[in-house]
């Protein structure tokens, strides 16, 4: 079964390569290939998970080819599958299907139709690499791809000044998180004297052993991982990039900042949980960040003038709660919470232009004059 | 109420030969997930459908007391004439009628027969509109095209539910006989006005008062959004973010985007409106000089104006403060027998680029 895992990475890449060679005027072919890819991915993944559940859900881990090996350094690609992967994978594919169908009509006749779908598939590939990653190196490769494609889609309207400027801001903050992740990898190698895989982290006794010997290394690594997660999930004090990320077309905002990309911080914490669960200070830190973000983001969302940023901040507040859930060890709850938040924010962002319709246009048909209606302030209702 | 009905009927020249059923059709537009939906609704109704106006006007014109007073003023509407208010949804090409239950039995029969005619007209309208939509196959059957048009108006992902006043070029004020059988490719505002009931132009003043503001305004709106969509228009509507229920901006920062989005103006040809008035040039000149607000539209050349003199059948073009005779370049127009074929065979847009959209306008034809 492990051998099948690589297919879920290769399929989006295959779709990407095919899309790259299609002529950019042929909208039907491009959108057809993209939709076929994501639908096939979703169906395949659902089938795989069904099979996996029937086999009593073993945790799968497979090491693919090694890129570099010397002494005790070995950089290799490793894939991993457990319930976190299953949930993140299926929801990622489902949302990708929804957004692909939406974008096919929405992006019609837009200059950059092909560019959009190429970036979309590129993002989807990167997301799958992160979700299926079995070690830090593979995760980092996917993490980078997600960051780069975020930049490409925020700066989709590259003729204008503001999207490009905001995209640079976003990618600069992302880089901070990437550096934190690299430092975590480096220090982790120092700690274990080998390149650890997430499967090996499941062995709690060994982890505890190592950490009690080298306490400060452990705290440093955990701190770096928390930093990377905080930046990716727009928790405080790194939330400033999220409103700036709404520069792209509505569909890209939906898929990135509503649902998939912004929850990768939670995913990172879930993945590295066996590692820092014994360090009380780190758990307290995560809880604090989550709680603080939740309160402040809710307050900020209440005073937002635009609808998309309001949804974005509300999403961040929920992710703050997810951070607390992960730190306290309630992982199933965190996964359910992720599923709910991802679908809700995707939906809300995709229909965010309708807010004018709901709040103003439809008022014409449902207006009932009150007993003493002097000024007819319909906004009161 | 009587004043309103009288002014209305006299201005369009409907003072005798009333049909048994007179339809007052307002326009509205339905679209889903569109922050610019009120751009397609009635501007005179502040971005709402005109349905209420149609219903009210029909009620007033059917009112027994109003008819009595109108009779006293010399405008007699026969007993058996009923006015029916209705709403044409221009995005989904549907029509809805109001207060049908107030019709008597014979009228109801007639109304039912009329509905078939309405549906036929809406089919043809849908087909003609489909030519401008790159995503609908115009060559499909009438039923399928109509279905596609309807789907567009309720689709959440559709950034172009309708193209509104895109390609508007003409405003023709005169008897509807003047344009009967002429194929104008949906580019003309048509105002009914009968010069024979108004030899000295008093009613014409009332008719022409809103022309500059409404028709000229619409034309200029599309014009400026087309020639500079980044600064004067709203850019593409895809990144638009509703800002405080009062406007849209691109994302969280930056300016509010007034003007029309790319999706509405990409088929538009930016030419100034040509107003054609069916009356003698001296009368038209007197009318447009009534108020400075009206006159500035024409003397400052925001819109062109031409008087089609019914006496000698010639055109007089307004320039530098006077109407001079104008010789049109072409004297005849081609005759076309099959309307549907004409629509289907129009050249397809070759690229998705905005500049090529105006190369496929159909010239004026005569429908035989």
- As a whole number of Å, the CA-based R_g of chain B is 22
- Asked if residue A78 is part of any domain, the answer here is yes
| Cβ pair A33, A103 in contact under 8 A | no
Give percent of chain B with pLDDT exceeding 70: 95
Mean per-residue pLDDT of chain A: 87
Q: How many domains does chain A have?
A: 1
Q: In chain A, which residue's Cα lies nearest the Cα of B351?
A: A25
For B112, the token pair is: 């039912």
Q: Give the pLDDT of residue A122.
A: 93
Which one has a higher pLDDT value, A375 or A159? A159
- Rounded Cα distance between B78 and B83, Å, is 11
Is A341 a residue whose pLDDT tops 70? yes
Q: What DSSP string runs through A168-197?
A: HHHHHHHHHHHHHHHHHHHHHHHHHSS--B
B-chain residues within 8 Å CB-CB of A252?
none
Q: Give the pLDDT of residue A379.
A: 44
ipTM field: 0.82
B234: helix, strand or coil: coil
Which one has a higher pLDDT value, B164 or A128? A128
- Rounded Cα distance between A290 and B75, Å, is 76
In a mutational test of the B interface, the residue from A27, A364, A365, A377 whose CB has the highest number of chain B CBs within 10 Å is A364
- Asked if residue A367 is part of any domain, the answer here is no
Q: Give the pLDDT of residue B11.
A: 81
Chain segment A254-266, per-residue pLDDT in tens: 777 668 888 999 9
- Asked if residue A217 is part of any domain, the answer here is yes
Chain segment A134-177, per-residue pLDDT in tens: 889 999 999 999 999 988 988 888 888 888 998 999 999 999 99
Closest CA to B37 of B20, B49, B25: B49
**pLDDT tier, B347 (very low <50, low <70, confident <90, very high otherwise):** low
Question: How many of the other CB atoms lie within 10 Å of CB of A364?
Answer: 17
Which one has a higher pLDDT value, A107 or B353? A107
Q: What DSSP string runs through B129-157?
A: HHTT-TTS-TTS-HHHHHHHHHHHHH-TT
Give the closest-approach CA distance of B37 to chain A in angstroms. 8
B-chain residues within 8 Å CB-CB of A356?
35, 37-38, 242, 245
Q: Give the pLDDT of residue A315.
A: 92
> What is the value of pTM for the model shown?
0.87
- Asked if residue A363 is part of any domain, the answer here is no
Is A275 a residue whose pLDDT tops 70? yes
Alpha helices, H only, A133-160: 136-154
- Rounded Cα distance between B126 and B192, Å, is 24
Q: What is the DSSP letter of B348?
A: P
Is A16 a residue whose pLDDT tops 90? yes
Are B252 and A157 in contact (CB < 8 Å)? no
**pLDDT tier, B357 (very low <50, low <70, confident <90, very high otherwise):** low
Q: What DSSP string runs through B30-95?
A: --SS-TTGGGTSBGGGTSB-SHHHHHHHHHHHH-HHHHHHHHHTT-PPPTT-EEEEEEEETTTTEE
In a mutational test of the B interface, the residue from A116, A353, A357 whose CB has the highest number of chain B CBs within 10 Å is A353
- Asked if residue A72 is part of any domain, the answer here is yes
| Cβ pair B75, B82 in contact under 8 A | no
In a mutational test of the A interface, the residue from B37, B253, B254 whose CB has the highest number of chain A CBs within 10 Å is B253
Q: Give the pLDDT of residue B251.
A: 78
B331: helix, strand or coil: coil
Domain that holds residue A108: 2-353
Which one has a higher pLDDT value, A60 or A219? A219
| Cβ pair A244, A169 in contact under 8 A | yes
Lowest mean pLDDT among A30-44, A97-111, A200-214: A200-214
Q: Give the pLDDT of residue A68.
A: 77
Q: Give the pLDDT of residue B58.
A: 92
**pLDDT tier, B351 (very low <50, low <70, confident <90, very high otherwise):** low
Is B81 a residue whose pLDDT tops 80? yes
Mean pLDDT of the A13-41 span: 91
Q: Give the pLDDT of residue A342.
A: 93
> In b/e form, how buried is each residue of B179-215, taking b as 16+ CB within 10 angstroms?
eeeebebbbbbebebbbeebeebebbbbbbbebbeeb
Are B242 and A364 in contact (CB < 8 Å)? no
Mean pLDDT of the B112-132 span: 89
Q: Give the pLDDT of residue B358.
A: 56
Is B21 a residue whose pLDDT tops 70? yes
**pLDDT tier, B356 (very low <50, low <70, confident <90, very high otherwise):** low
Give percent of chain A with pLDDT exceeding 70: 96
- Asked if residue A12 is part of any domain, the answer here is yes
- Asked if residue A221 is part of any domain, the answer here is yes
- Rounded Cα distance between A339 and A90, Å, is 10
Mode of pairing for the β-strands spanning A73-81 and A60-70: antiparallel
Which of A51-55, A339-343, B48-52 ranks highest by mean pLDDT? A339-343
- Rounded Cα distance between B264 and B260, Å, is 6
Give the closest-approach CA distance of B243 to chain A in angstroms. 4
Chain segment B206-250, per-residue pLDDT in tens: 888 888 888 999 999 999 998 988 888 888 888 888 888 888 888
Residue A162 parent element (H or E): helix A161-192
B321: helix, strand or coil: coil
**pLDDT tier, A35 (very low <50, low <70, confident <90, very high otherwise):** very high
- Asked if residue A233 is part of any domain, the answer here is yes
């Amino acid at each position: 079964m492990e051998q099948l895992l690589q297919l879920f990475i290769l399929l989006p890449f295959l779709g990407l390569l095919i899309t790259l060679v299609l002529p950019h005027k042929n909208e039907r072919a491009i959108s057809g290939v993209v939709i076929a890819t994501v639908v096939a991915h979703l169906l395949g993944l659902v089938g795989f998970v069904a099979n996996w559940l029937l086999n009593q859900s073993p945790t799968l881990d497979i090491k693919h080819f090694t890129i570099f090996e010397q002494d005790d350094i070995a950089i290799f690609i490793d894939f991993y599958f457990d319930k976190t992967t299953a949930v993140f994978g299926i929801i990622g594919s489902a949302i990708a299907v929804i957004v692909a169908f939406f974008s096919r009509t929405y992006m019609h006749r837009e200059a950059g139709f092909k560019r959009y779908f190429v970036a979309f598939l590129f993002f989807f590939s990167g997301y799958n690499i992160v979700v299926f990653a079995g070690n830090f190196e593979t995760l980092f490769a996917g993490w980078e791809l997600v960051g780069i494609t975020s930049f490409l889609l925020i700066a989709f309207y590259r003729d204008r000044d503001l999207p490009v400027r905001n995209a640079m801001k976003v990618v600069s903050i992302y880089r901070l998180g990437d550096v934190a992740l690299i430092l975590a990898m480096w220090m982790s190698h120092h700690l274990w004297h080998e390149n650890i895989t997430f499967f090996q982290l499941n062995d709690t006794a060994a982890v505890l052993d190592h950490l009690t010997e080298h306490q400060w290394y452990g705290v440093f690594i955990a701190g770096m991982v928390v930093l990377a997660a905080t930046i990716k999930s727009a928790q405080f004090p790194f939330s400033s990039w999220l409103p700036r990320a709404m520069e792209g077309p509505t569909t890209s905002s939906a898929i990135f900042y509503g649902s998939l990309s912004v929850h990768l911080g939670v995913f990172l914490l879930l993945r590295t949980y066996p590692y820092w669960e014994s360090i009380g200070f780190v758990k307290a830190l995560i809880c604090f960040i989550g709680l603080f973000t939740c309160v402040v983001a809710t307050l900020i969302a209440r005073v937002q003038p635009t609808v998309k940023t309001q949804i974005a901040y509300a999403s961040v507040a929920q992710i703050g709660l997810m951070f607390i859930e992960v730190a306290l060890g309630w992982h199933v709850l965190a996964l359910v919470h992720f599923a709910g938040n991802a679908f809700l924010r995707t939906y809300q962002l995709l229909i965010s232009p309708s807010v004018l319709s709901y709040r103003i246009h439809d008022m014409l048909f449902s207006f009932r004059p009150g007993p003493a209606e002097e000024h007819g302030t319909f906004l009161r209702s | 109420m009587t004043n309103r009905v009288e002014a209305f009927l006299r201005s369009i020249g409907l003072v005798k030969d009333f049909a048994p059923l007179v339809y007052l059709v307002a326009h509205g537009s339905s679209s889903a997930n569109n922050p610019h939906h009120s751009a397609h609704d009635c501007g005179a109704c502040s971005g709402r459908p005109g349905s209420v106006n149609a219903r009210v006007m029909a009620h007033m014109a059917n009112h027994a007391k109003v008819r009595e007073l109108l009779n006293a003023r010399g405008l007699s509407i026969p007993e058996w004439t009923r006015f029916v208010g209705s709403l044409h949804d221009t995005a989904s090409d549907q029509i809805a009628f109001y207060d049908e239950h107030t019709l008597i039995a014979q009228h109801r029969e007639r109304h039912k027969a009329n509905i078939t005619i309405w549906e036929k007209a809406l089919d043809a309208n849908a087909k003609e509109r489909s030519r401008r939509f790159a995503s609908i196959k115009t060559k499909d059957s009438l039923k399928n095209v109509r279905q596609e048009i309807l789907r567009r108006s309720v689709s959440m992902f559709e950034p172009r539910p309708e193209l509104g006043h895109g390609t508007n070029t003409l405003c023709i004020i005169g008897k509807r006989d003047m344009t009967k059988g002429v194929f104008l490719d949906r580019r003309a505002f048509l105002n009914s006005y009968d010069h024979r009931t108004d030899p000295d132009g008093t009613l014409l003043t009332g008719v022409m008062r809103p022309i500059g503001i409404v028709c000229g305004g619409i034309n200029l709106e599309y014009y400026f959004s087309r020639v500079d969509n980044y600064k004067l228009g709203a850019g593409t509507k895809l990144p638009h973010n509703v800002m405080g229920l009062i406007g849209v901006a691109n994302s969280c920062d930056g300016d509010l985007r007034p003007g029309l989005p790319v999706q509405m103006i990409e088929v538009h040809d930016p030419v100034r409106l040509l107003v054609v008035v069916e009356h003698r040039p001296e009368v038209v000149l007197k009318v447009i000089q009534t108020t400075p607000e009206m006159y500035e539209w024409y003397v400052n050349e925001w819109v062109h104006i031409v008087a089609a003199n019914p006496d000698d059948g010639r055109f007089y073009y307004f320039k530098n403060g006077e109407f001079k005779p104008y010789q049109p370049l072409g004297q005849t127009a081609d005759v076309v027998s099959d309307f549907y074929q004409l629509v289907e065979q129009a050249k397809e847009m070759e690229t998705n680029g905005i500049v090529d959209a105006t190369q496929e306008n159909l010239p004026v034809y005569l429908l035989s």
